[in-house]
Amino acid sequence: MSAVASQRWSRRASVVALVAAALTAFGCPSSMKEPGTRPPEAVEAPRRDCLELEKEIDRLQREAQAAGDTEALEDHVAALQLRLLERDALVKALREQFSTQQVELEDAIGEVVRSKAKLRSHESKAQAASDMAEGEIALKAVKERYAGAEPPQAVALAEQLLAMSSVEFEKQNYGGSLYLVSQARTKVRAAEIQARLRGNLDPLAGEVRFATPMELKVTKTCKLRKAPGLDAEVLATLKPGTAVTGLSYRGKWVRVVCDDHSAGWIFEALLAGLE
């Protein structure tokens, strides 16, 4: 093996080792302590993904040892890094479902309890009933937009909040009912925005959508392009630290949406997960 080939193999092997270390840092779900209230499927999905990634790493290590096509190996590593980011986003979504969102629910309940006596005489029964009906209609509409696809956690949380609102309405706590409806409608709006962004973007050949949108940030000044490729039209220039949402990827390019709802493609090496 020539000195150049040896250096290339060493560099590729180092990259694979770093990816393996990243997988270990993220932690396979099989080694994590899962809350007893977590549904089995929520545990199995990331576990299966973890096992697939481990197999992929083994395959890449064999290719590195064979000192084959280093360019192809580099492409595989780049794709694997994106999959690791996607898995990390899935794990974070699960944790939010059973921790952060649970705290939010508990805070909402606490607010209802504290305001119960004060708001009962000031809030309108008709207004509460009207808002609840509008919330149910909005929730039904957004669920229809996700027909055949996995809806975001905001949809499930909105359902819980509306159910709690109904309970408070029956207790004649119309203020508490209105409060919970407003929280539910916030979640519904978030799900609507996500559905609109994902639905209005025509997928390209070879484009793969992430299982869940990923919160990313720009690491260096970069161009937001109309299509995946250095020769594609430049739509905007993004500064380091700009937050974007990753929707899918094609090769080494990631389709993202900015806070102003503009969408485009960014080279994956210029993106990183949020802290």
Residue 72 lies in a domain: yes
Residues 68 and 41 in one domain: yes
| pTM score of the predicted model | 0.45
Query: What pLDDT digit, counting tens, does each position of 177-202 carry?
Result: 888 888 888 888 778 777 766 666 77
Query: What pLDDT, on a 0 to 100 scale, did the predictor assign at position 172?
Result: 84
Kindly state whether residues 83 and 148 are assigned to the same domain: no
The number of distinct structural domains making up the chain is 3
Domain with 230, as residue range(s), is 208-273
Q: Which of 168, 160, 72 is nearest to 112 (CA)?
A: 168
Q: Quick one: how far is CA 221 from the chain centroid? A: 23
Alpha-carbon distance 152 to 265, whole Å?
23
Query: Who has greater pLDDT, 166 or 119?
Result: 166
Query: In the predicted model, what is the mean pLDDT of the chain?
Result: 73
pLDDT greater than 60 at residue 3 = no
Output DSSP code: residue 69: -
Q: Which of 175, 199, 223 is the endpoint of a domain?
A: 199
**pLDDT band at 42; cut points 50, 70, 90:** low
Determine what percent of the chain is predicted with pLDDT higher than 70.
Answer: 55
Find the angle CA(81)-CA(86)-CA(92) to the nearest 5 degrees. Answer: 125
Q: What is the DSSP track for 126-154?
A: HHHHHHHHHHHHHHHHHHHHTTTSPPPHH
- Coil, strand or helix at 158: helix
Q: In this structure, is residue 134 part of a structural domain?
A: yes
Question: What integer pLDDT is reported at residue 12 of this predicted model?
Answer: 46
Q: Spell 121-160 as b/e; 16+ CB within 10 A means b.
A: eebeeeebeebbeebbebbeebbebbeeeebbbbbebbbb
Asked whether residue 155 falls in the same domain as residue 217, the answer is: no
The pLDDT value recorded for residue 156 is 87
Burial 64-100 (b: 16+ CB within 10 A, else e): beebeeeeebeebbbbbbbbbbbbbbbbbbbeebeee
Same domain, 151 and 189: yes
Residues 215, 219, 222, 227: is their CA dihedral positive or negative?
A: negative
Nearest-angstrom CA–CA distance, 184 and 156: 10
Answer yes or no: is pLDDT of 275 > 70: no
Whether residue 71 is predicted with pLDDT greater than 90 in this model: the reply is: no
CATH number for the domain including 230? 2.30.30.40
